[in-house]
Amino acid sequence: MRFLRQVLAVARKDLLIEWRSPARISGLLFFALALLLLVAYANGGSTFLLPQIAGSTLWIGLLLASTRGLDQSWAVELERGALEGLVLWPVMPAALFYGKAIANTFVLLIVLLALCPLTMAIYDVGVKEDYLIFLGLLFFGCSALAAPGTLYGAITARARGSSVLLPLLMFPLIVPALMAAAKGCSALMSGDIFNEAEIWLWLLIVFNVVHWSLSGLLFRYVVEDT
Amino acid sequence: MQGDSEAGLHVADVSRRFGRRWAVARASFSLAPGERLMLTGANGSGKTTLLRCLATALKPDHGEIRLAGECLWTHRDRHRASIAYFSHAPRLYDDLNATDNLKVWARLGEYSIDAHSLLEQVGLPPDRTEPVRTFSAGMRRRLAFARILMQKPRLVLLDEPFSALDPEGRTQLVKLVDTLCGDTAVLIVATHLPRTAISLCHHGIHMEAGQITWRGAHDDHPLLKGAT
Amino acid sequence: MRKPLVWLVFFGGLALVTTFYPEAGWTADQPGVIAPGDKWEYITAAYVVTWVGLIGYTISLWVRTPTKKRQ
Amino acid sequence: MSEKSYAPWKDYIPWEHFFGVVGLCSLAAGHIWGLFYTPPETNMGDVVKILFVHVPCAWNSMLVFTIAFFAAFVSLISGRRGADGVLAGAVETGLLLTGLTLITGSIFARPTWGYWWTSDPRLNTTAILFLTFIGVLMLRVMVQNSERRAIWSAVATIIAYVNVPITYMSVRWMRSVHQIQSSPSDVDGPLKLVWRISALSILALAIWFITRRYRIEKARQIAEAAPPLPEANNA
């Protein structure tokens, strides 16, 4: 119970900081939105091609925005030495990780939920049924980016050349999640003829289970002195 | 300054290195509950490293620290709640205001606090709503001190507590430290200003290049004699 | 920043060798169709790349081993 | 420099050189046999000989990454610096072998299937594995503090390794929705023997590489080891 309270306290703290500096989250949103528009323009607004790439572009946009967001979420902790304060405060390291990862999931989810209608308008697609599966894909896709991203963010924020290192570590790792989320969303947007969206949702869940448990176990080694 | 019982703080041969340099080498001392120590030394003499070892931010490469009879590093999860460490870094969130900062830290540590009175104690106006980003360095130090005031510590570590504070703030801080420590907490103050800290402390230790070169009662401190 | 550069040159070089290896004797260009001929140039390329890789890494290890002279 | 500098050939010949010499010789022998004294395969002709280098590299790269995983585990749990040396060696050797697997695989694919690259699950998994461990290597390069480097790269290695099955599953599903890719047909007789010889030779070479890299790391650790603690003064 104490653990859960701490997780919630950390998550609440991060979300409060996001709430008090709304420029950051809207920055992420407009970054991803610009990317969506650019891809649409680069393809010349082709009515044939755009609906097909809507799902993948949405997730690539979110992925690129997420590296900025994850970087920022750790920069806040390092700015005034708050991270060491958290480690030395009576907060369990795992609770610190899960709290931050949950907060990052929500930040990504907010950006994604704002992006979805815009994508559907620009790329002329829509989801007609299976709303639950679609929402599941969105949620578990965000949490799949947040878990390894939060762990690696803690590493790279304190290393040299962090802006290159985070994508370098994170991008290959989240390929399965990205593929599942993008393919699942694409399938739903084009009517899901092969009934594949549910398979992709299950893959995302497996990815989440593995990475959320593993990162939680390893996080303590990353933040503590040895 | 020999704390004879297992209670209190026992530092035995503690050493910590960074790369090829021993930042702290074979530091040994014992403090009984309620004893207060002043730690002096030039910049880079190892004061902060020693304090960070005591705060469990660093693991000693050699030697052992025992607090209340238990190895501090092994039982760090349990002891961290009873160590108040006032460091150079204010450990604040720039985007939140003073009250929110205190509330956030209280919620994380599950302390119940009255943010209003804490802010008044450290001499900050309690009803300011600007984010901490707009605060001056001295105000940040005060707020950072309010953050450790919510703890009920057994060991209090202050690293240059008087820096960036005005003279009035220094006397205020001395009083606050007194109430924070009470009669039972062990206090260690690392400082360049032995004159200000002297009223707080019973003993003195002077460090040079990571080693303890002088120890004794606070009033025959070599720095004080040299100054007069 | 020297080490990643060495790796980049190393694998980049291997990739370049692979890409620009002359495709003489190549006849069919359709996926899935096996062309006649020995295609020894491909075989040679594969073996050369492998040996260059193995020997190259051996040399890199040898160069990195600290000795009295190199320190 | 201190007297403890590492100069192996002056004091003794380390055991791992045995593996190196035997590995190189038997690999050369196996390759010569495979290239000039084995019959061409019925379907693919002589091109099948590329598999003598491709398949052993692929097998051993997986083995070496497994070694890296266990080294990372030991390094994290015990904090022993030797495990970090093994980790460094295994990551680099694994990357070398995976790189060779990808390149020779590409060279094999071109004359047999007609393309350099295809979206085959095994190809994609290997490529992603390669990129993941490139990330680990870059992390090692960019972190200067050796203790932090050891811990952080161990964490990254564990995560990268555990991610492999998920990646494989995802890329297999990606294809299975559309078509099923057939694997290259089995080979037998003398071909199998050559395979085994070169696989064992590359294994010996991998052991040699990892041990050499471990020794380099060990020498660096000695070079940056702390001077002895000063005697306690009785102030």
B13: closest CA of chain D, how far (Å):
8
pLDDT of residue D183: 42
| The residue to which tokens 């933040």 are assigned | A223
Cβ pair D46:C53 closer than 8 A: no
Would C4 be classed as within a structural domain?
A: no
From CA B59, how far away is CA B23, in angstroms rounded? 13
Q: Domain limits at C53?
A: 38-66
Are B211 and D229 within 8 A, CB to CB? Answer: no
Cβ contact C32–D7 (<8 Å): no
SS (H, E, C) chain A: CHHHHHHHHHHHHHHHHHHHCHHHHHHHHHHHHHHHHHHHHHCCCCCCCHHHHHHHHHHHHHHHHHHHHHHHHHHHHHHCCHHHHHHHCCCCHHHHHHHHHHHHHHHHHHHHHHHHHHHHHHHCCCCCCCHHHHHHHHHHHHHHHHHHHHHHHHHHCCCCCHHHHHHHHHHHHCHHHHHHHHHHHHHHHCCCCCCCHHHHHHHHHHHHHHHHHHHHHHHHHHHCCC
B87: phi then psi, degrees, rounded to nearest 5: -105, -175
| Burial class, B132, CB count within 10 angstroms (exposed 0-12 / middle 13-18 / buried 19+) | buried
> How far apart, in whole angstroms, are the C-alpha atoms of residue A80 and residue A67?
21
Answer whether residue C27 is part of any domain.
no
Q: How many CB atoms lie within 10 A of CB B53?
A: 27
For the ranges A104-113, B40-49, B211-220, C36-45, the one whose mean pLDDT is highest: A104-113
Q: Do A81 and B109 touch (CB under 8 A)?
A: no
Give dist(CA A174, CA D148) in Å, integer.
Answer: 24
Q: Which residues of A touch B131 (CB under 8 A)?
A: 20
Of D37, D185, D175, D31, the residue nearest C34 (C-alpha):
D185
State whether residue D163 sits within 8 Å of chain A by CB.
yes
Q: Which domains does chain B have, with CATH numbers?
A: 9-88+153-227 (3.40.50.300)
| pLDDT tens per residue, range A165-178 | 999 999 999 999 99
Residue in chain C closest to D43 (alpha carbons) equals C34
Q: B62 has which bridge partners? A: B15
Size of interface A-B (CB pairs under 8 A): 76
Percent of chain D with pLDDT over 70: 84
Instruction: Provide mean pLDDT across the span B14-18.
Output: 90
Q: Which residue has the higher pLDDT, D38 or A150?
A: A150
State pTM to two decimals: 0.86
Q: For residue D99, is pLDDT > 70?
A: yes
> Could you say which of D79, D144, D169 has the minimum Cβ distance to residue A203?
D169
CA-based nearest residue to B49, from B141, B159, B194, B154: B159
CA angle, B164 as apex, B162 and B170 as ends, to 5°? 40
Cβ contact B96–A87 (<8 Å): no
Tell me, yes or no, if A16 comes closer than 8 A to chain B by beta carbon.
Answer: yes
The CA distance from D132 to D68, in Å, is 13
Whether D and A touch (3+ CB pairs < 8 Å), yes or no:
yes
Among B55, B89, B110, whose Cβ lies nearest the Cβ of A80? B89
Q: How confident is the model at residue B3 (pLDDT cuts 50, 70, 90)?
A: very low
Instruction: Judge whether D114 is closer than 8 Å to chain C, CB to CB.
Output: yes
Contact D229 B22 (CB under 8 A): yes
With 50 as the cut, is the pLDDT of residue C71 above it?
A: no
Number of structural domains (chain C) is 1
Give the count of domains, chain A: 1
D neighbour chains, 3+ CB pairs within 8 Å: A, B, C
pLDDT tens-digit profile of B104-130? 999 998 888 888 999 998 888 888 889
**Do the chains contact at A210 and D139, CB–CB below 8 Å?**
no
User: Of A165, A5, A205, A174, nearest to A74 (Cα)?
Assistant: A165
A160, A183, A214 member nearest D174 (Cβ): A183
CB contact (8 A) between residue B15 and residue D232: no
Residue D190 is predicted with a pLDDT of: 67
pLDDT for position B225: 67
DSSP-derived pairing of the beta strands B36-41 and B186-190 = parallel
Asked if A176 is an interface residue toward chain D (Cβ–Cβ < 8 A), one would say yes
Task: Give a yes or no: residue C49 inside a domain.
Answer: yes
Mean pLDDT for A51-69 is: 91
Residue C11 lies in a domain: no
- Average pLDDT rounded to a whole number, residues A33-60: 87
pLDDT at A130: 81
Mean pLDDT of chain D: 82
The backbone torsions φ and ψ at residue B212, rounded to the nearest 5 degrees and listed phi first, read -80, 120
- pLDDT at residue C57, as a whole number: 93
Measure in Å the smallest separation between the Cα of A176 and chain D Cα atoms. 5
Reported in sequence order, the residue ranges of chain B that DSSP labels E, i.e. its strands, are 9-18, 21-31, 36-41, 62-67, 70-71, 83-86, 155-159, 186-190, 203-208, 211-217
| Interchain contact D/B (3 or more Cβ pairs less than 8 Å) | yes
* Nearest-neighbour CA in chain B from A95: distance (Å): 10
| Domain membership flag for residue C7 | no
In a domain, C44, yes or no: yes
Give the closest of C40, C43, C53 to D100, CB-based: C53
C8-54 pLDDT, tens digit each = 776 677 666 555 544 433 333 334 444 445 677 888 888 999 999 99
- pLDDT number for residue C22: 43
The domain of A62 spans 2-223
Query: Do residue D229 and residue B62 have CB atoms under 8 angstroms apart?
Result: yes
B8 CA to centre of own chain: 16
Percent of chain B with pLDDT over 90: 31
**Nearest to residue B151, comparing CAs of D100, A37, D33, A89?**
A89
